[in-house]
Amino acid sequence: MPIGRALGTATVVASLVAALATTASAGTSSSPDGTSRLVAGRVTDAAGAPLAGVEVQLHTRTERFSGPSGDPVLTDAAGHYEIASTIFYEPDELSVSFLASGDAAGLADEAWDDASSLDEATPLTFDDAGVAAGIDAVLDEPGLLTGRVTDDLGRPVVGAAVRASRLTRGSWSFVGWSSPNATTSEDGRYRLQIAKGVVRLEVDVDDDALRDAFVGGASPDLATEISVTPGASTDLGDTKLQRVGHIRGRLVEDGNRERRPGCLVRSYRQTGDSWVLDGRTSPDAVGKFSLPSIPGRYVLRFCDDADEDYRIYREEWWRDARVPGQSTTIDVRAEEVTGGLRASLERRAIIAGKVRLRPGPVPVRSFPVRLMARRAGAWVTVASTATLTMGANYGRWSFAGVDPGRYKVVYRPPAFLDRGRSRVRVRRGDDVTGVRKVLQRLPLLNVERPTIVGDARVGSTLAVTPGAWETQDHVATNPRVTFQWLADGLPVRGATAGTFTPRTRQLGRRLRVVVATVAEGYTYVAGTAVSDSTSPVER
């Protein structure tokens, strides 16, 4: 249903601008550090009747944060609302939600512009005065979805949670803002009131003997996409949950009873001539795992976490197999437990070390460290980390899950440090944790030498230009500098200014100037540059 824009007249906009100016002058919705915004509109039902008491909330979305901005307001007897807020940073989006309270009780929540969730809401557009007028809404009745949940023997499942999700911004996410979840009753039935749009339903049970599923199928790709119509009731029929057995066991580390691997356990079920991923889980604090599995033949895979090249433990199959074809199979029957599976896993090596500065203390900010290995005849980056910056751990770094072999640790510090690398050899079963590297602090680069201006005569004042300087990554800079004048290569006592007037004692001598940059904090060390010499000082 389209949303009206009944308040978009010039008269209303003018009144809103005046209201915004009044609010700003009162100091309630603006500050020197914020930007004032005012949103106004009207909320009605499908017949056009005004809805009083509807809660209207302004929402802010940025790359890192999404949430309400300011306090909500309620629509008045005519369905009108005005909501003012001060925005203290520039948001990516601002939008409005309408929660069905007051006269709208029983209707479906909504967001601007006719959206069924905040994630789908249309961003507001403001005029030059910071006003968005005509932000109206028509609240519909929710649609009703009904159905029944049973096991594969046709018995009703009681207390199962039925949750709706919507396809929003490219992914399916659970709906919590615009509709509640449903729970099955004693006869296994559920009733779910939900706003219009396309959803799919997931059935979640606490019963370990039954497997969670979706309405329409056992997995997300088999789920039925359901179109919800306002005010209409749709019966989805029966959803059957399969009875399961359980595969249970424990993970331990080779030769270490105290350490319990925390990597994933995956189960693959035989389907025809292939093995299909069926489930996965993480062991608990003592290494125990449990996988609910429908009847069939399975193999288990350990420590294939996120398909990363560098895992803490070496991947293997049950029992101690390197490939699935060598794995011992497991037969699962409904409502039975296959237990006692103990997997002893091989831990891969750790490479760790610490970086220090010379001269000066340890690094005060983090910088990247790369681990490189030889692959197909070339050195490539296989893992990345960064130095730590806390207390005694300043400069520390580490890589876990490293196979035996030869490696390079490459440091990428800020430009004021020289770059370096460490070579490391890892042997099977051994960690390398004592890698140390000292990085030298560097000076600024002098790209144009200092110049002496003036005539080299007794009593005639000379001046020096400090030259041009760059950082080590070739960014022009204007550092603080000091001066020291030289006569025939020897320092002239007290001649440390940017100007110098030769005296009789410098007669016949050649003058030069040493310009030195001043070290700043823990970054660049002092650098020096020397000017060309003058001609011999004359009378």
Q: How confident is the model at residue 324 (pLDDT cuts 50, 70, 90)?
A: confident
What is the C-alpha separation between 437 and 410, in angstroms, rounded?
10
Count the neighbouring beta carbons within 10 Å of the beta carbon of residue 454.
Answer: 16
Lowest mean pLDDT, pick from 33-47, 238-252, 287-301: 33-47
pLDDT of residue 364: 67
For 296, phi and psi rounded to 5 degrees? 160, -170
Backbone phi, psi, residue 391, to 5°: 50, -130
* pLDDT one-digit tens code per residue, 495-504: 999 999 999 9
pLDDT in tens, 208-257: 889 889 999 888 888 999 999 999 999 999 999 999 999 999 999 988 87
Instruction: Compute the CA torsion angle 419, 425, 429, 434 (nearest 10 deg).
Output: -40
In angstroms, the Cα distances linking 133 to 7, 42, 357, 405 are: 6, 10, 60, 67
Among 139, 143, 142, 111, residue whose Cα is nearest residue 47: 139
Sign of CA dihedral 121, 123, 129, 132: negative
Residue 532 has pLDDT above 60, yes or no: yes
Q: What is the pTM of this model?
A: 0.57
3-state secondary structure of 512: strand
Q: Phi, psi (5° rounding) for residue 220?
A: -55, -35
**What residues does 50 pair with on adjacent strands?**
44
Residue 190 β-bridge partners? 147
Q: Which domains does the chain have, with CATH numbers?
A: 10-139 (2.60.40.1120), 143-241 (2.60.40.1120), 249-345 (2.60.40), 349-440 (2.60.40.1120), 445-530 (2.60.40)
H or E segment and range at residue 26:
helix 10-26
In the numeric block, which tokens belong to residue 247?
Answer: 């595969």
The span from the CA of 144 to the CA of 161, in Å, is 16
